[in-house]
Amino acid sequence: MKKFVIAALFAASSLTAGATFAQDKQDLTAAQQTENRIILETARNLVGYGEAKSDPLALVTAAKMVASVPGKVLADQAKGEEGADKAAAFDIEGVLKKAEDLSQGDELIKKVAADVRAAAAANSKAVCYWQYYCYYNGWCEYAYACW
């Protein structure tokens, strides 16, 4: 009887471990990928705007948008083929620091930046990732992949 109970516990724990891994790998539908691709493109443009106009609210909003998509967003030159955990991530912290520097101590910017840091930390361990691809004709877009 003891062997049966031990075998049942082992089987249950191995099934639970598989379910935990499955939660890390998020298969997105085509519609979800399109929505998140648009969010990332908008965030990318918002970072450019925030830097050009020295707008801390635009920068912190862009960082929040990047942190809101499921999966890890890779840096522009990073490749995810070797695994999302080994590739360089989009520099959310750099964007947030720039926003905090420009805000000159604004409490709202500090609070949102802290919330974004917490959300970004959760995405840093994701199995799936967003990679920024540029094609030969100059067209660039984010592509979603899991390894």
- Structure tokens, 131: 């990679």
Task: Give residue for tokens 């031990």.
Answer: 6
Indicate the DSSP class of residue 71.
S
**pLDDT, tens digit, 9 for 90 and up, residues 85-131:** 788 899 999 999 999 999 998 999 999 999 999 989 877 778 889 99
Contact call for residues 123 and 72 (beta carbons, < 8 A): yes
Using the predicted structure, report yes or no on whether residue 66 has a pLDDT greater than 90: yes
**pLDDT, tens digit, 9 for 90 and up, residues 16-56:** 333 333 345 668 999 999 999 999 999 999 999 999 999 99
In terms of Cα–Cα distance, which of 74, 78, 91 is closest to 144?
Answer: 74
Q: Are β-strands 128-134 and 72-73 bridged in parallel, bridged antiparallel, or unpaired?
A: parallel
Q: Domain-by-domain residue ranges, the chain?
A: 30-146
Report the distance separating Cα 61 and Cα 65, nearest Å. Answer: 6
